[in-house]
Homo-oligomer: A and B are copies of this chain.
Amino acid sequence: MAGSTAAKLGVIAGGGELPRRLVEICRARGRDVFVLALEGEAAPETVMGVSHAWCRMGAAAQGLKLLRDNGVGDLVIAGGVRRPSLITMRPDWRAAKFFAKVGYRMLGDDGLLSALAKELEAEGFHLIGAHELLDERASVPEGPLGRLKPSDDAMVDIARGIGIARAIGALDIGQAVVVQQGLVLGVEAIEGTDALLRRCAGLRREGPGGVLVKVSKPGQETRIDRPTIGPRTVRLVAEAGLQGIAVEAGSTLLLGRDEVIRAADAAGVFITGVHVT
């Protein structure tokens, strides 16, 4: 018998490099994989040389059929998705039924993802988190990752940042905040962490640079939307003149660990895992 004994893995793929990393992991382990690539979100590289189909986000009936027809058992949702309005999404009957049940408009991202997770399980799929497939090198332990440690003033900003990030997370607004010398330079909403960092480059004050703090939302659906950092995060943090990055230890996905640490050390940026209660 070729391949693994694990059920065939389905990957519902949004943007970024995470979905492709999951594909590579399956290949390395000889596990069958099928990618349902979301139109306008997944990168073409994600599906290269692997069994896949493209599907628009609103075409739920077609998507479910594709997953079933391709024998998917375990299912992972990975990568970024720019949440569209209902009109842009053009929901089919199956998606419309789901949205009518959960109330699209009044749900934040996290509420919607939790509802989606429940719905997919009710359809018979076994939903797993990307972190269950990645090895321990994709997780962030407590303490500094690279050569640099946060300064004392950065620690003060990190403490304030954690409080604020948890609060905006509890409101299901976003996961990230930038704090410099006690000032909140920016709060992440729908624009995402990259755009937050780009605008904070123009808002920084003189003196010691600020910090990016990124934590999971309280009560977040941890199988789908974990805080994630990668090489691009490090580059944008350096370009914004920040001193470093503090992420929640244990729950953050770290993509490209070696590259991230190398880039952070080269740019003089710290990355530290913090325990969040």
* Chain B residue at smallest Cβ distance from A160: B106
Contact at A187–B207, with CB atoms within 8 Å?
A: no
Among A146-171, those with CB < 8 Å from B are 153, 156, 160, 163-164, 167-168, 171
Contact at B190–A184, with CB atoms within 8 Å?
A: yes
CB-defined contacts of A106 to chain B, threshold 8 Å: 156, 160, 182
Interface residue tally for chain A (C-beta within 8 Å): 38
* Chain B residue at smallest Cβ distance from A163: B171
| A266 located at the interface, meaning its Cβ lies under 8 Å from any Cβ of chain B in the complex | no
Overall SS of chain A's interface: mixed
State the CA gap A187–B106 with chains docked (Å).
17
State the CA gap A171–B190 with chains docked (Å).
19
Contact at B190–A88, with CB atoms within 8 Å?
A: no
| A274 located at the interface, meaning its Cβ lies under 8 Å from any Cβ of chain B in the complex | no
Top 5 closest A-B pairs, CB basis?
A: A85-B205, A105-B182, A87-B207, A187-B187, A85-B207
